[in-house]
Amino acid sequence: QVIRCRAAVAWAAGKPLSLEEVEVAPPKPGEVRIKVVATGICRTDDHILEGSFPDVDFPVIPGHEGAGIVESVGVGVTSVKPGDKVIPVSLPHCGECSFCLNPESNYCLKSHLSEPQNLLPDKTSRFTCKGKQIHHFLWVSTFSEYTVIPEYAVAKIDAAAPLDKVCLLGCGFSTGYGAAINAAKVKPGSTCAVFGLGGVGLSVVIGCKVAGASRIIAIDINKDKFAKAKELGATDCLSPRDFKKPIQEVVTEMTGHGVDYSFEAIGLADTMIAALASCNMNTGVCVMVGLADSGSLISIDPMLLLSGRTWKGTLLGGWNMRDCIPKLVSSYLEKKFNSDLLITHTLPIAKVNEGFELLRAGKR
């Protein structure tokens, strides 16, 4: 039956979220209805509100970094059952497309960059509000107390997992941690530079530390982030505003020839180029993690790459999310990393707009 619950709806770009009562239809075949227990706020959600995330249709319920409990399942669903703890994944794994069948790929052709996920696969929505159809976001929409998701975008996790903590593994933590572990494959004893110390950048720092990096240079214009970065493993903290020369020159001088691995976790063209120029010119690897505004363009000197640098991007840290989220949750429970340190505030859904204000002010 239809469930009535609260959700934070974005009616149009440039406007704050509006807390509304919405109707959530039951799951159709191959779908799962989830009671969302906790969700993080990710910069990507802010891009929706700004209107700078590609191919989003309004009105929409944002949110994609959540954890919850299965309420009901549609016909044919076998991997989860009511009562199971789950994390929705914003990078699905259909298991059938050419990318899913490639063991080196974590991308699915059903994901938003290939075809918009504003409606469920049957091209209908499970959300209505005030008689209007409300769109989904990445099939996840965790800013609703209940949401409906295709089975292949749901990962079952350990029943012992605290949902208010592991919700971060749905996007932010996994993205940053995986950028170091999977995309860069940071080696023990290596040097790293991390541009941007939000939740994702700090997760990169954790990944570099776990991988055994000997030096981790953390870079941000907000010095309030430095204490947390050092707590998580950064050995040096730099603010570009403290130097008269470009920060890439500072990093190169500090390390001799540049770092072995650099990471851009902001999503700005200038810092992407600075991160690329900060790794050594022959064997350095630069990983783009931050999401740039839709339509952004970058102009670079080809010599930055001709000498041998590797410049690559990563989606959700390179993890095959349905397979790897349960393993990451197990690693969390085994205390192999402490992602709890990334949580700065806990707010009720009615204060979701305050959460975005904290994000924009650099307070999280």
| Pair 195, 58 in one domain | no
* Residue 179 falls inside a structural domain: no
Do 30 and 157 have their domain in common? yes
Same domain for 87 and 142, yes or no, is yes
Q: pTM, whole model, 2 decimals?
A: 0.95
Residue 293 confidence (pLDDT):
81
Quick one: 33 and 118 in the same domain?
yes
Domain enclosing residue 277, as ranges: 184-313
Domain boundary among 313, 329, 351: 313
DSSP lists the bridge partners of residue 191 as 215
Give the domain CATH number at 355: 3.90.180.10
Q: Count structural domains, the chain.
A: 2
**Residues 345 and 275 occupy one common structural domain:** no
- Indicate whether 103 and 130 sit together in one domain: yes
Q: Are residues 99 and 147 in the same domain?
A: yes
- Please name the residue that has the structure tokens 């469920």: 120
Half-sphere exposure of 93 (CA within 13 A, CB side): 21
Q: Is the residue at 339 inside a domain?
A: yes
Rounded to the nearest 5 degrees, what angle is found at the Cα of 146, between the Cα atoms of 142 and 152? 70
The pLDDT score that the predictor gives to residue 295 is 81
Please answer whether residues 78 and 71 qualify as being in contact, where contact means their C-beta atoms are separated by less than 8 angstroms: no
Distance from C-alpha of 180 to C-alpha of 160, rounded to nearest angstrom: 27
- Is 262 contained in some domain? yes
130 lies in the same domain as 230:
no
**What is the per-residue burial (b if ≥16 Cβ within 10 Å, else e) of 21-41?**
ebbbbebbebbbbbbbbbbbb
177 in any annotated domain: no
Per-residue pLDDT of the chain (364 residues; tens, 9 = 90+): 999 999 999 999 999 999 999 999 999 999 999 999 999 999 999 999 999 898 999 999 999 999 999 999 999 999 999 999 999 999 999 999 999 999 999 999 999 989 999 999 999 999 999 999 999 999 999 999 999 999 999 999 999 999 999 999 999 999 999 999 999 999 999 999 999 999 999 999 999 999 999 999 999 999 999 999 999 999 999 999 999 999 999 999 999 999 999 999 999 999 999 999 999 999 999 999 998 887 889 999 999 999 999 999 999 999 999 999 999 999 999 999 999 999 999 999 999 999 999 999 876 5
Instruction: Based on the fold, state whether residues 220 and 102 are members of the same structural domain.
Output: no
User: Does 197 share its domain with 210?
Assistant: yes
* CATH number of the domain to which 189 belongs: 3.40.50.720
The answer to whether residues 149 and 217 belong to one domain is no
- The pLDDT of residue 258 is 98
